[in-house]
Amino acid sequence: MPTKGRILRVNGPLVVAEGMKASQMFEVVEVGDLGLIGEITRIEGDRAYIQVYEDTSGIKPGEPVLGTGAPLSAELGPGLLGQIVDGLERPLGRIAEISESPFIQRGVKVPSLDRQKKWHFVPKVKKGDKVYPGDILGTVQETQLIEHRIIVPPNVQGTLKEVASEGEYTVEENIGIVNMNGDEVPVSMIQKWPARIPRPFKEKLEPSEPLLTGVRVLDTIFPLAKGGTAAIPGPFGAGKTVTLQSLAKWSSAKIVIYVGCGERGNELTDELRAFPTLKDPWTGRPLLERTILVANTSNMPVAARETSIYMGVTIGEYFRDQGYDVLVVADSTTRWAEALRDLGGRMEEMPAEEGFPSYLPSRLAEYYERAGKVRTLGNLDRFGSVTLASAVSPPGGDFTEPVTSNTLRFVKVFWPLDVSLAHARHFPAVNWLQGFSAYTDLVSKWWDQNVNPQWKEIRESMVKTLIREDELKQIVRLVGPESLSERDKLVLEVARLIKEAFLKQNAFDDIDAFSSPQKQYRIMKLIDFYNKFATNLVEKGMPVKKISEGITVVTDIIKSKAIIKNDELNKYDELENTLKSQFEQLEKKVI
Amino acid sequence: METTMNIREFKNISMIKGPLVIVQGVNDAAYNELVQVEMSDGERRRGIVVDSYLGSSVVQVFEGTSGVSPTGTTVRFLGRGLEVKISDEMLGRIFNPLGDPLDNGPPIISGEKTDINGGPINPSMREYPEEFIQTGISAIDGMNPLLRGQKLPIFSGSGLPSNTLAAQIAKQATVIGEESNFAVVFGAIGVRYDDAMFFRKFFEETGAINRVAMFVSLANEPPMMKILTPRTTLSLAEYLAFEKDMHVLAILLDMTNYCESLREISASKEEIPGRGGYPGYMYTDLATIYERAGKVKGKKGSITQMPILTMPNDDMTHPIPDLTGYITEGQIVLDRSLYNKGIYPPINVLMSLSRLGKDGIGEGKTRDDHKDLQNQLFAAYARAVDTRGLAAIIGEDSLSDVDKKYLLFGEAFERKFVTQGVNENRSIERTLDIGWDIVSILPESELTNIKQSLIKKYLPAYRGKQ
């Protein structure tokens, strides 16, 4: 029997109701005559404090509150890919159809998954089989790219009394009946999971494979691993969103979930517009076939912003449990934290640092802990991963503020964006001196086996050059470049080459936007050649000025990133040969 | 607000504090319901319900509570939300944010009653902005292009010519090759009277006044009026864009005054302050204003938003510009040092940004060389500024030859490209040609951002040789 109470107080998104003794924490309720969706966040006596996910204008004391008996849950099953849903997992396209307006109306109730659409189900088990949570019952080819694996829900196990034969089914139709200790439990293609609770798995494993992004500074200098966690903090205009969009577009994850959490409406439109036509560089299929957008823009109700990242990660875990590598991108966790602060303030909670609630760090920890590479539940040995990459928007670009500093405690990769690089139009504006990655050693094995064993060595040499350049620049600022030794001048020259030819990357250039690992290595190799040959000449007494005048191919090397495509890397041989012969010419002049 | 109810009257006021009045005995006040406060002398003020309890209600009075007494005052709950009559008859007129005329003209009778808070645009119904607006200003068109449906603020400092620039943009803005159904809605938020009149006069002189509607709250009015001003302004913008198929430019001046009012009201409600004393929800609140821009599917019109704000102490990290920058699609930053050099418009192109610009320029939109040239100008000017810093320390003579060229380039960029007259309306071709003239100061080997084919086509050294 669901509870029925009545409203005592309305204060923005906070509603207090009485007669709610039978309700439970985090239960979803319908508020007022409009039936707005809300969630119980505190219970005192028979009073419940409800955070309402829609605008409460017009709601009055005395109106009813109805319990639903269930916590806030994600609906999981075929039909999510290619969708754009709000923070409560309601498809925004359907809301627009029902509202018949470009504006979002309140109280619209739409199921997350299409109830009418039929999916072609292919069974993988037969009658009489014993099934356990996570076992694959059958498959649905949801998009050309993704085979949706229908798995036994985490709370069901037993003997299959019935299995549907191959054919067309809606998500609600039964595709099997499990005899669970004498009870007959029907199973359909749809399952629900409470969004705030992590889905179970067998064991967590150490990340080892890189999550390639095609962005050179990320893949090579600060690599992310499948199952890892990364944060991108930066002031506005530093390129957070563009970097996250690059991740969503080009990363080697099988499924990408993009959570637009309190950000701009037009940015999500940009993705909705681009993803059906852009091709996944790893498979050649339209990106939308592997993407789910969770959108709660900055002007949408603040409480639903708080839930959007949980919805995103829950959907991510569901695909992980099918054995896929999933990337969940959240833009931005600062807006999520601000939603926490707003709601905490209205509940009159004691604020901690900068008004944020004292549980901010533990909420952040809980969220990032949902990342990982796991051995999934189920009979077949399956591995899946959830990688979390989140933007942080520190006020005024100050990284010491609570959200950034707490996030740093829980992530293993840090891609700080630097506004001075952005103003100089050096993109991606990742500061190579402040960033870090704890996965460099773990993934270098992969580069070793799949690209070239030299990757690690050249990478280290590049990083060293950049650090040395920073030191030298401080000297230059004091005494001018002419006072440097020739060897130090060469360091500046090589660092310039690293920045121009490798680190800078144009996310809006068709060719430059995505660099395959092989292409990255080819550019690195050219830089390494240049460094070694030039060092040799400098040691023989040649001034750097002469080298830079003699090696004219450098301009072509810098331009090559936007000219040479990923599938015509042999063109780099030509550049390499020119570079060598120009150095040979120079060397003759030494003697 | 969808629910309609009867008017209820109460006389039992238990507390008056700041703009807030607490009324006892009311059991069914709707959140955000419109309230009329009638004082013993017959003066009527308006307010809304900001916190509603079973048995009492907290009302925020727009015009302030000075003179309101617990005895003899009647509080009427009007059974509807804050609605203003919106109509296309408002063009050519001036109103206060409640829709009352300020120009001695007749009141609007036949308008559409509109909840001025608006609603969030469904992201799946948005149409992405792609049409380049030619403002005739090189530092914007060439470097940080404005698109139709974009929200692009001007970050100004006190005394900088942001009004002149906004007026110039409003006058010159066109979409190339299109005779458009164009309107300007202007929200003057807590401005001084002469600022409001500057624009009024400007629009009259340029003959555009019949396409302009103004909503004005003056600096000495109560804070709530300033909170309402942008909302009413944008309600008219939405009506004109989505009901009347017009392309609307919405100018909001000055958002700093808006934020100050927000802080003042928040403090009077004893809310926990965030950074700088501004309320923690200021980001969300500003988003409900700035996000009311764009284009939507199935509608011909559009709203392009240009809010103007004053950075306190020229500090871009101050909460007001900071939170604005996180919501808007870029920013045009005015720079005092350029202004002091006598450069107009004093736009700092490096700190400025147009997030959407890239999608409205290039072949078939502006010109094939636009993107590459833009990248090159940015990179070269950034290096020029850097070099200038170095030259200041070690002296110009110790610079390398290439660096000296960059210094020359930097000067030319500011004096020839950025600088232009208040009435100078440059076509995009002219802007790009000036760009080519000044990059030719640099050696060709420095032009690493431009494709060879474009260099051959446009660089002055090759022009006419093909």
B51, A479: Cβ pair inside 8 Å? Answer: no
> What is the b/e burial string over B288-304, where b = at least 16 CB atoms within 10 angstroms of the residue's CB?
bbbbbbbbbeebebbbb
- Mean pLDDT, residues B283-295 taken together: 94
Average pLDDT over residues B236-247: 95
pLDDT, position B272: 81
Residues 6 or more apart whose CB falls under 8 angstroms from that of B328 comprise B151, B152, B153, B290, B305, B307
Other residues' Cβ atoms within 10 Å of the Cβ of residue B373: 26
Spell out which residues of chain A touch residue B31, defining contact as CB-CB under 8 Å.
10-12, 56-60
Q: How confident is the model at residue A274 (pLDDT cuts 50, 70, 90)?
A: confident
Name the H helices within B395-451: 401-412, 428-439
List of chain B residues whose C-beta atoms are within 8 Å of the C-beta of residue A258: none
> Is A234 marked as binding a ligand?
yes
Percent of chain A with pLDDT over 90: 74
Is the bond into B345 cis (omega within 30 degrees of 0)? yes
CA angle A462, A466, A470 (to 5 degrees): 170
- State percent of chain B over pLDDT 70: 98
Report whether pLDDT(B3) > 50. Answer: no
CATH of domain A119-189: 2.40.50.100
Contact between B120 and A104 using a beta-carbon 8 Å cutoff: yes
Domain regions of chain A by residue span? 4-71, 119-189, 203-437, 455-588
Whether the ipTM is more than 0.90: the answer is no
Task: Indicate whether A1 pLDDT > 60.
Answer: no
What CA–CA distances, in Å, run from B212 to A408, B7, B86, B175, B200? Answer: 50, 36, 14, 18, 9
Measured between CB atoms, does A354 come within 8 Å of chain B?
yes
pLDDT at A200 over 70: yes
Question: How far is A534 from A501, CA to CA, in rounded Å?
Answer: 17
d(CA B31, nearest CA chain A) in Å: 5
CATH class of A203-437: alpha beta
**pLDDT given for residue B464 in this prediction:** 63
Q: Do B393 and A34 touch (CB under 8 A)?
A: no
Q: pLDDT category, B209, cuts 50, 70, 90?
A: confident
Q: In the numeric block, which tokens belong to residue B307?
A: 């809010």
- Residue-wise pLDDT for B24-34, tens only, equals 999 999 999 99
* Whole-number pLDDT of residue B181: 85
CA distance A200 to chain B (A): 33
Nearest to residue B293, comparing CAs of B283, B303, B285?
B303
- Please determine, for residue B2, whether its predicted confidence score (pLDDT) is greater than 50: no
Tell whether B326 is within 8 A of chain A (Cβ): yes
CA of B144, closest CA in chain A: separation in Å?
12
CATH among 3.40.630.10, 1.10.1140.10, 2.70.50.60, 3.40.50.300 for A455-588: 1.10.1140.10
- Give the residue on B whose Cα is nearest the Cα of A241: B355
Q: Which residues of A381-417 are buried (b: 16+ CB within 10 A; e: fewer)?
A: ebbbbbbbbbbbbbbbbebebbbbbbbbebbbbbbbb
Residue percentage of chain B with pLDDT more than 90: 73
**Residues A19-31: what's their mean pLDDT?**
91
Whether residue A326 contacts residue A387, with contact meaning beta carbons closer than 8 Å, is answered with yes
For residue B273, give how far its alpha carbon lies from the nearest alpha carbon of chain A (Å): 7
What's the pLDDT band for B361 if we cut at 50, 70, 90? Answer: very high
Q: Is the pLDDT of residue B466 over 70?
A: no
pLDDT digits (tens, 9 = 90+) for B96-129: 999 999 988 999 988 889 989 888 999 999 999 9
- Each residue's pLDDT tens digit, B372-393: 999 999 999 999 998 998 888 8
pLDDT above 70: percentage of residues in chain A: 100
Could A57 and B31 be called an inter-chain contact, meaning their C-beta atoms sit closer than 8 Å?
Answer: yes
Query: Residue A333: is its pLDDT beyond 90?
Result: yes
Q: What is the pLDDT of residue A569?
A: 94
Report how far residue B193's alpha carbon sits from residue A505's, in angstroms, rounded to the nearest whole number.
49
Q: Is A239 annotated as a binding residue?
A: yes
* φ and ψ at residue A355, rounded to 5 degrees: 80, -10
Which of A11, A482, A552 minimises the CB distance to B398? Answer: A482
| Alpha carbon distance B169, B146 (integer Å) | 10
Contacts of A418 in chain B (CB under 8 A): none
Q: What's residue B1's pLDDT?
A: 47
Task: Indicate if the pLDDT at residue B194 is higher than 90.
Answer: no
Tell me which of A60, A393, A506, A512 to substitute to probe the interface with B (most B C-beta atoms closer than 10 Å).
Answer: A60
- Contact B371/B354 with Cβ under 8 angstroms? no
In angstroms, the CA A174 to CA A369 distance is 34
CB atoms A236 and B325 under 8 Å: yes
For the segment A220-236, the average pLDDT, to the nearest whole number, is 95
Number of Cβ within 10 Å of residue B172's Cβ equals 18
Look over chain A and give the mean of its residue pLDDT values, rounded to a whole number: 92
pLDDT top residue among B466 and A136: A136
Tens of pLDDT along A412-458?
Answer: 999 999 988 988 888 999 999 999 999 999 999 999 999 999 999 99
Q: Please report the DSSP string for B14-66 in residue order.
A: EEEETTEEEEES-S-PPTTEEEEEE-TTS-EEEEEEEEEETTEEEEEETT--T
The confidence band for B179, taking pLDDT boundaries of 50, 70 and 90, is low
- Secondary-structure class of domain A4-71 per CATH: mainly beta
Has A45 been labeled as part of a binding site?
Answer: no
Residues 78-97 of B with CB under 8 A from A: 81
